Structures are given as structure tokens and as C-alpha cells.
Amino acid sequence: MKKLINKVDDVVVEQMQGMAAAHAGVKINLEPKYMYRSDSPISTKVAIVSGGGSGHEPMHCGFVGMGMLDGACPGEMFTSPTPDQMLECAKQVNGGPGVLFLVKNYTGDVMNFDMATEMLHEEGIAVQSILVDDDVAVKDSLYTAGRRGVGTTVLMEKIVGAAAEAGYNLDQCADLARKVNCSGRSMGMALTSCIVPAGGKPNFEIGDDEIEFGVGIHGEPGRKRMKHTTADEITSMLVSGILEDENYTRTVREWDRIKGDWEDKVITSDALKAGDEVIVMVNSLGGTPLSELYVVYKKLAEICEAKGIKIVEKLVGAYITSLEMQGCTITMVKADAEMKKFWNAPVNTPGLRWGI
């Protein structure tokens, strides 16, 4: 194993220190670990906080800054952050209007953010928590009950972060986050595995002539293992998985601030169809170069045009990675006027910047 690291135990801390040294807009706290906006807390806005295991950079710490997250909590590699990280980060960035947690649907993340939500409530801080569960590949996988939370997280952080910047209150931010989640679908594939520094070996074995179709961002098994084929064929399969996904109804838990308890909420993601406008992301899992991502985007755009689906905004690059894994994910979010407005609003973070 060859990696640009010093000591295995120092990887997360040193990447946080490097990001803060490179970007004046963010600061770090190391006990417990979290990253936050240099200008926080801001008294006029809801604080948006997310987090998850490290190894997916730039998500989440790379999206801390104006127009996205107020704070992010990095766990160890592929390991959920702890409730005390979430609690202390939320208290650091809370300016008064409350805190919204955006949580990917992985068992550890959900459990720990739930605990942090309850602790914040006990301290008298208004809080809400919204789940992301957009991966159409599988349900009830290795680390989840229900669908995994993947690429829609990035788009949610951008859209909801801009809404908070514009003055949306906590309930409005939560409603918008829920709408983005119900509008988003993702699917991914892997050409290779990845190596967690502490493990020192590939997360899973895969043949030189094989791909994992429907892979998760930690290397979780997908729908099937299959022979490698062309970029166009792979893209077509990924897009078909998204477009053929039917209306998806499930029950999620959300925090009731009035009762101070969790309540079940039934939500539905409507299937994409002709006439829809979408924001799309073609994302590298870390090892796939931009040149190959544009080959994927070319085919994605052709399919959308043929299906009568209009791409109104797009991201092509590495935004939610899996260390050095070769592979890609495609995310499609049906966008209305509100979502397009906040997508195009200014943003200034280490990992995403425009309109400044």
C-alpha cells in the first residue's frame, strides 16, 4: 500500500489541518473534531450541519462555507462521527435561529445524529434532522435499513445552505431538504476497490475484468458483479436504474420539536418522467479522471434528451468520493423554480465555489 500520509492515526486530523491552512473561510476544532465557518455563529440564519466518515472528501468538510454548510463532523475513515462531535459543532455554529442536521442514511450516522438531536433539544436549542436516502441500487444493504444516502447529499447541502443564507427559518429549511431528498435518485459503479489506511488492503476483491454495479460509497455490494464493458453501456445501465425506479414510499423518523420526541413521517419520491427538469451530477469515486467522467456525461445527456428530460444544471467532478476507488456515480434531482434559484445562488467553500 502506498499513500501520501504520515501516520495512519493522524490522517483525519492532518487533512483537517491542511484544509484550514489552505482556506481562510474555515476553522477547525480537534477535541472533538469538527470544521466550521470562520464567521460563525451567524445570528441571522439557521445553521446547517452534516457529517459522516472521512474518506469521501470533499464531502462534508469541503462544503463548509458561505452558501452551504455551517459545520461538518468528520469521523474516522468510513466511520460515523460521534454524538459529542455533532453536539459541540452544532453549539459552535448555532446563532439562534436553530440547527438543521442533514443525515445520510447509514446506521451509525442516523443513530448518532439522533442522539445529538435529543441532546440539543435538552439544551434548549431548536433542532431538526432530515434524512438522505437516494440510492436506487439496493435496499437494506450492509450498513443501512432502507436505501443508502449518497450523491443527493451534495445537492441538498448546496440548495438548503443557500436557502438558509437567504433567511429561511428552520421549518422552511427542513421542508426544502425533505423535498430535495424526495426529488433525488443516485446510482454508482466501481471498477476497483479502495484501501482504508488502517486496513492496509482493498475493501473488497474484484477482478481486473469485472465491475461492481450499484456499489455503495464504502464499497458495499451493489446489484451485481459483471464483466467490464464500454462507458456508454455502463452509463446506460446506471441511468436506466434511475429512470426505471418507480414511485418510492417509505416511513422515516423526524424530530417533533413541540413534543420533544420522534415521529414517523411517510414520504414519497415520485418517478422521473418526460418533461421533468433535473440537476445532474456525474461524480468520481476518487480514482476516475475527469476525462472519463465527461465521456459518461456525454452519454447521460444523450439519454436525457431522448427521454424528454431537460438537464438545467450539472456538476462533473469528484464531490463524494471513496478514497482512491475507480468508478463513478450519477445523481439526478428533479428541480423546481425554488431549487434552481438556490442552486444558482453564490457559494464559497473549499470544494464548491461560484457567483463570488
- Is 56 assigned a catalytic role? yes
Grade residue 145 by pLDDT with cuts at 50, 70 and 90: confident
Amino acid (1-letter code) at residue 85? Q
CB 64 within 8 A of CB 102: no
Q: Inform me whether the pLDDT recorded for 37 exceeds 90.
A: yes
DSSP-derived letter for residue 120 is H
Grade residue 142 by pLDDT with cuts at 50, 70 and 90: low
- Show the cell assigned to 277: 427538469
Residue range 254-270, pLDDT digits in tens: 999 999 999 999 999 99
Grade residue 287 by pLDDT with cuts at 50, 70 and 90: very high
Grade residue 1 by pLDDT with cuts at 50, 70 and 90: confident
Arch. (CATH architecture) of 11-183: 3-Layer(aba) Sandwich (3.40)
Of 23, 56, 60, 121, which is the active-site residue? 56
Q: What pLDDT score was predicted for residue 182?
A: 98
340 by DSSP, 3-state: which? helix
Cell 445537492 locates to 155
- Side-chain-side CA neighbours of residue 180 (13 Å): 33
- 3-state SS string over the chain? CCCCCCCHHHHHHHHHHHHHHHCCCEEEEECCEEEEECCCCCCCCCEEEEEEEECCCCCCHHHECECCECEEEEEEECCCCCHHHHHHHHHHHCCCCCEEEEEECCHHHHHHHHHHHHHHHHCCCCEEEEEECCECCCCCCCCCCCCCCCCHHHHHHHHHHHHHHCCCCHHHHHHHHHHHHHHEEEEEEECCCCECCCCCCECCCCCCCEEEECCCCCCCCCCEEEECCCHHHHHHHHHHHHHCCCCEEEEEEEEECCCCEEEEEEEEECCCCCCCEEEEEEEECECCCHHHHHHHHHHHHHHHHHHCCEEEEEEEECCCCCCCECEEEEEEEECCHHHHHHHCCCEECCCCEECC
Mean pLDDT of 91-117: 97
- Show the cell assigned to 50: 452534516
Q: Domain coordinates of the chain in residue numbers?
A: 11-183
Amino acid (1-letter code) at residue 216? G
Q: Inform me whether the pLDDT recorded for 70 exceeds 90.
A: yes
Grade residue 119 by pLDDT with cuts at 50, 70 and 90: very high
| Parallel/antiparallel/unpaired status of strands 47-54 and 99-104 | parallel
Q: Inform me whether the pLDDT recorded for 34 exceeds 70.
A: yes
9 by DSSP, 3-state: which? helix
Grade residue 314 by pLDDT with cuts at 50, 70 and 90: very high
Q: Inform me whether the pLDDT recorded for 222 exceeds 90.
A: no
Mean pLDDT of 132-143: 85
Q: What pLDDT score was predicted for residue 172?
A: 98
Of 23, 60, 121, 218, which is the active-site residue? 218
Residue range 166-198, pLDDT digits in tens: 999 999 999 999 999 999 999 999 999 999 999
Q: What pLDDT score was predicted for residue 140?
A: 73
- Is 218 assigned a catalytic role? yes
Mean pLDDT of 139-146: 75
- Show the cell assigned to 290: 475527469
